[in-house]
């Protein structure tokens, strides 16, 4: 295994505990640049914890995580370098309710990247157009539907020009009729070659865009395969059981 | 049975248009003032109680009031009529004392100028639609206190020195209240952040500071600062009496402010912090741009309560021989030239009105601000 420039994320022997609960147990996962990974598994299996360790929203206690050539440690400089290249989309959107949609998108570029306001707004409008809601730029998040909010959240992350996007169950909090608009945005992003790690139960999405599907249970990676093989010919008993319950 | 089955399927042929909501009726209808004999009786009873309270006040303050005169004689029952109300000439005669205390007559323009500067800088700061907020805030919070200090104390720029001992009246009230307000908000925010910090030493220090100042009464703080502190300090260190009080009041208010702000901080969901961290904002930008703007909006009612409480508590400086508005008022009562049965009531009515105007103003402004800053739940306002 190398930290070569074609590797986006490399996790080696990663463990994490919450108190006595073993949340991540010996995770080994390498994600190449341009690859799309979908992580699936039952509730409490450690999927979210795994991707939150990648940008240090959670800290791992053992093992190595290297993101874009930088090892994730307690060192603030390393965390800063990692987060600069990693965008994240949350289940609950987590837009800033006191700022307009446009301000949500320009906040980090202006204050972290020190981009002039005009340029930041131009970039933000470009991404808002890409997620198909430029007309909502002046509204506050509370005035948008869930699907629109999640698309703003995607645009907000893209405005920082990340090399890697993490999605933590991006459609789980949405009303059913809004799932598609968010998934369509993500599919488009995948077509443009973005490296993506997606925690999701959207099997249609996994089939369409994923290079690999990872199945987790009890903090471990139980099975990992290309989507076709994963869905048509699951090997492990737990994977079979899980697929039989959700499909 | 087949009949019921036929009725259980239904397809709407035409989507009906939305209708306007039913009229809510006028004030009478909505408040149910006269909708039934019990409500009618209660309404009449309340009107009677209001009459009992309001009419004597109007009678005393306006109708029976004495408006002109130059001494107590005007306000005595023998000369003023059978019933004498408020003795306004007393207020007029002592007015400058109420405002300036014993600030030298020839230098009072400096106080006026300070008041004017404060008002001119504060007003545009409070009106949201006016531009240059950042520059305005810098002038009010950064430049104004320094200018006010040199203007009021003097001793430079050709201005004669005026000892704080001769300050008094509304000047003292405003100096103590504004200093307390301007210092306690930022200090309280820092203390609240420290108390929620992940560094244990910082957290413990903040807890000790906050609990200490909340644990002692303000009067004790003022007494300590005025009478005991000089005993502990080397004799060469002579801190100005008013300065010691200002420091005491500011630290006292900061401790309360810290807890109100902490309440606001606790209401911010974890996701906001996580989104800010994922965007790589870093601690200070996360707090300053994302968390505090939301937390402070939530904390506005508590913050304004502290401001109002502080404004009224300034009158406690009376106990350490500093004469604020109320102190000057009571000093004026002692003047035999104006001794009359209504002097006391007139004086307190005047002080009450002054305090009420300031406190009610703060309260209404905070409501306005809360409504203006509301971006979520647009329907809540209805």
Give tens-digit pLDDT for B324-337.
898 888 888 888 88
User: CA B275 to CA A89: how far, in whole Å?
Assistant: 8
pLDDT at B27: 59
Of residues B379 and B281, more confidence is placed in B281
Asked if B275 lies within 8 A of A80 by C-beta distance, the reply is no
Model confidence at B377, pLDDT cuts 50, 70, 90, reads low
Question: What is the least distance, in Å, from the CA of B292 to any CA of chain A?
Answer: 11
pLDDT at B81: 56
pLDDT at A186: 95
Closest to A155 in 3D by CA, of A131, A179, A132, A138: A131
Using CA atoms, how far residue A61 sits from A13, A15, A39, A246, in Å, is 10, 6, 21, 32
pLDDT at B216: 93
- Return phi, psi of residue A169, to 5°: 45, 60
> Helical H runs in chain B?
2-8, 27-31, 37-58, 77-80, 88-100, 108-126, 133-138, 144-153, 169-195, 200-215, 218-223, 229-232, 241-266, 270-278, 282-285, 292-313, 325-333, 343-372
Query: Is B66 a residue whose pLDDT tops 90?
Result: no
CA quadruple B129, B131, B136, B137: dihedral sign? positive
Query: Is-contact A189 A182, C-beta < 8 A?
Result: no
Query: Is A12 a residue whose pLDDT tops 90?
Result: yes
Model confidence at A156, pLDDT cuts 50, 70, 90, reads very high
Query: Is B264 a residue whose pLDDT tops 50?
Result: yes
Model confidence at A213, pLDDT cuts 50, 70, 90, reads very high
Provide the 3-class DSSP secondary structure of residue B62.
helix
Of B269, B271, B278, the CB nearest to A55: B278
pLDDT, averaged across chain B:
87
Model confidence at B358, pLDDT cuts 50, 70, 90, reads very high
Residues 191-230 of chain A with CB under 8 A from chain B are none
User: CA B270 to CA B277: how far, in whole Å?
Assistant: 11
Of residues B376 and B313, more confidence is placed in B313
Least confident piece of the model among A169-178, B23-32, B63-72, B211-220:
B23-32
User: Which tens digits make up the pLDDT trace of B281-318?
Assistant: 999 999 999 999 999 999 999 999 999 999 998 889 88
pLDDT at B30: 67
CB contact A86 to B (< 8 Å): yes
- Burial B297-319, CB ≥16 within 10 A → b, else e: bbbbebbbbbbbebbebbbbbbe
Asked if A107 lies within 8 A of B271 by C-beta distance, the reply is no
Question: What is the least distance, in Å, from the CA of A214 to any CA of chain B?
Answer: 23
Of B274, B297, B378, the CB nearest to A142: B378
pLDDT at A153: 96
Cβ count within 10 A of residue B150: 15
Least confident piece of the model among A84-88, A182-186, B156-160, B224-228:
B156-160
Using CA atoms, how far residue B96 sits from B92, B167, B168, B295, B329, in Å, is 8, 12, 10, 42, 11
pLDDT at B162: 83
Query: Across residues B242-251, what is the average pLDDT?
Result: 90
Of B277, B281, B376, the CB nearest to A97: B376
Query: Is B78 a residue whose pLDDT tops 80?
Result: no
User: CA A138 to CA A100: how far, in whole Å?
Assistant: 6
Asked if A108 lies within 8 A of B376 by C-beta distance, the reply is no
Asked if A83 lies within 8 A of B278 by C-beta distance, the reply is yes
| Residue appearing with tokens 């990648």 | A54
Model confidence at B267, pLDDT cuts 50, 70, 90, reads very high
Asked if A57 lies within 8 A of B278 by C-beta distance, the reply is yes
pLDDT at B3: 53
Query: Is B174 a residue whose pLDDT tops 80?
Result: yes
Query: Across residues A208-225, what is the average pLDDT?
Result: 94
CB contact A98 to B (< 8 Å): yes
Which value, in Å, is the radius of gyration of the alpha carbons in chain B? 28
- Return phi, psi of residue A10, to 5°: -135, 115
CB contact A140 to B (< 8 Å): yes
Range among A123-132, B231-240, B341-350 with highest mean pLDDT value: A123-132
How many angstroms separate the most distant Cα atoms in chain A?
Answer: 55
Question: What is the least distance, in Å, from the CA of B276 to any CA of chain A?
Answer: 8
Of residues A29 and B378, more confidence is placed in A29
Mutate to test the interface with A, among B267, B270, B279, B300 (most CBs of A within 10 A): B279
A225 membership: H or E segment, kind and range: strand A220-225
Query: Is A20 a residue whose pLDDT tops 50?
Result: yes
Chain B residue numbers touching A88 (CB-CB < 8 A): 275, 278
Of B275, B297, B373, the CB nearest to A90: B275
User: CA B49 to CA B34: how far, in whole Å?
Assistant: 17
Chain A residue numbers touching B370 (CB-CB < 8 A): none
pLDDT at B381: 37
User: CA A46 to CA A215: how far, in whole Å?
Assistant: 10
Spatial strand order of the sheet with A36-40 comes to A86-89, A164-168, A195-199, A36-40, A212-217, A220-225
Residue of A nearest to B284 (CA): A111
Of A83, A94, A156, the CB nearest to B271: A94
Using CA atoms, how far residue B258 sits from A137, B135, B191, B300, in Å, is 35, 26, 6, 13
User: Which tens digits make up the pLDDT trace of B86-102?
Assistant: 888 888 888 888 988 88
**Is-above-0.80 flag for pTM?**
yes
Question: What is the least distance, in Å, from the CA of A115 to any CA of chain B?
Answer: 14
pLDDT at A2: 45
Asked if B275 lies within 8 A of A87 by C-beta distance, the reply is no
pLDDT at A3: 46
Spatial strand order of the sheet with A21-32 comes to A21-32, A7-18, A62-67, A70-71
Model confidence at B4, pLDDT cuts 50, 70, 90, reads low
For chains A and B, CB pairs below 8 A equal: 71
CB contact A113 to B (< 8 Å): no
Query: Is A224 a residue whose pLDDT tops 50?
Result: yes
Per the DSSP assignment, residues forming a β-bridge with A166 are: A88, A197
Q: Which residues of B touch A (CB under 8 A)?
A: 269, 271-272, 274-282, 285, 289-290, 293-294, 297, 373, 375-378
Least confident piece of the model among A37-51, A214-228, B119-133:
B119-133
Question: What residues contact residue A115 under an 8 Å CB cut-off, 6+ apart?
Answer: A109, A123
Provide the 3-class DSSP secondary structure of residue A8.
strand
| Residue appearing with tokens 């949340």 | A23
Tokens describing residue A191: 């077509």
Chain B residue numbers touching A142 (CB-CB < 8 A): 375-378
pLDDT at B132: 83
Query: Across residues B357-379, what is the average pLDDT?
Result: 83
CB contact A73 to B (< 8 Å): no
Asked if B376 lies within 8 A of A140 by C-beta distance, the reply is yes
Least confident piece of the model among A82-91, B162-171, B184-193, B294-303:
B162-171
């Amino acid at each position: 295994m190398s930290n070569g420039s074609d590797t986006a994320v490399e996790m080696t022997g990663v463990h994490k505990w919450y108190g006595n609960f073993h949340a991540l147990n010996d995770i080994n996962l390498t994600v190449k640049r341009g690859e799309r990974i979908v992580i699936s598994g039952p509730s409490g299996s450690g999927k979210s914890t795994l991707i939150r360790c990648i940008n240090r929203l959670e800290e791992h206690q053992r093992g190595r995580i290297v993101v874009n050539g930088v090892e994730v440690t307690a060192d603030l400089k390393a965390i800063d370098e990692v987060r600069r290249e990693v965008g994240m989309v949350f289940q609950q959107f987590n837009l800033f309710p006191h700022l307009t949609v446009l301000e949500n998108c320009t906040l980090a570029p202006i204050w972290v990247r020190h981009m002039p306001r005009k340029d930041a707004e131009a970039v933000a409008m470009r991404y808002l157009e890409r997620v198909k809601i430029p007309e909502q730029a002046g509204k506050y998040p509370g005035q948008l539907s869930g699907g629109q909010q999640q698309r703003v959240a995607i645009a907000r992350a893209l405005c920082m020009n990340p090399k890697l996007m993490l999605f933590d169950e991006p459609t789980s909090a949405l009303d059913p009729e809004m799932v598609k608009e968010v998934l369509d945005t993500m599919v488009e992003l995948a077509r443009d070659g973005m490296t993506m790690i997606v925690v999701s139960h959207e099997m249609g999405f996994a089939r369409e865009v994923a290079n690999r599907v990872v199945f987790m249970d009890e903090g471990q990676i139980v099975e990992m395969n290309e989507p076709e093989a994963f869905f048509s010919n699951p090997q492990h008993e737990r994977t079979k059981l899980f697929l039989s319950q959700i499909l | 049975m087949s009949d019921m089955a036929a009725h259980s399927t239904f397809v709407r042929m035409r989507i009906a248009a939305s209708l306007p909501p039913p009229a809510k009726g006028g004030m009478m209808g909505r408040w149910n003032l006269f909708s039934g004999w019990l409500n009618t009786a209660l309404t009449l009873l309340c009107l009677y109680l209001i009459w009992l309270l309001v009419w004597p006040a109007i009678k005393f303050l306006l109708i029976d009031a004495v408006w002109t005169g130059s001494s107590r004689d005007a306000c005595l029952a023998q000369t003023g009529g059978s019933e004498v109300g408020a003795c306004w000439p007393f207020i007029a005669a002592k007015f400058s004392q109420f405002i300036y205390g014993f600030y030298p007559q020839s230098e009072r323009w400096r106080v006026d100028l300070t008041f004017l500067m404060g008002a001119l800088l504060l007003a545009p700061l409070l009106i949201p639609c006016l531009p240059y907020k950042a520059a305005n805030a810098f002038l009010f919070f950064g430049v104004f206190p320094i200018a006010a200090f040199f203007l009021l104390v003097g001793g430079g720029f050709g201005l004669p020195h005026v000892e704080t001992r001769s300050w008094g009246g509304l000047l003292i009230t405003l100096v103590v209240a504004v200093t307390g307000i301007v210092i306690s908000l930022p200090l309280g925010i820092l203390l609240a952040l420290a108390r929620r910090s992940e560094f244990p030493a910082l957290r413990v220090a903040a807890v000790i500071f906050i609990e200490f100042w909340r644990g002692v009464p303000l009067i004790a703080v003022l007494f300590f600062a005025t009478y005991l502190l000089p005993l502990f300090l080397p004799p060469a260190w002579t801190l100005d009496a008013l300065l010691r009080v200002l420091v005491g009041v500011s630290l006292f208010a900061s401790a309360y402010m810290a807890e109100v702000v902490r309440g606001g901080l606790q209401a911010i969901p974890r996701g906001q912090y996580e989104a800010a961290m994922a965007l790589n904002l870093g601690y200070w930008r996360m707090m300053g741009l994302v968390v505090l703007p939301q937390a402070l909006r939530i904390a506005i009612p508590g913050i304004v309560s502290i401001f109002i409480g502080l404004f009224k508590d300034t009158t406690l400086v009376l106990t350490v021989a500093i004469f604020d508005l109320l102190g000057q008022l009571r000093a004026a009562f002692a003047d035999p030239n104006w001794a009359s049965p209504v002097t006391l009531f007139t004086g307190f009515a005047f002080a009450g009105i002054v305090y009420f105007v300031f406190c009610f103003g703060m309260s209404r402004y905070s409501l306005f601000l809360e409504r203006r800053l509301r971006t979520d739940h647009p329907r809540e306002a209805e």
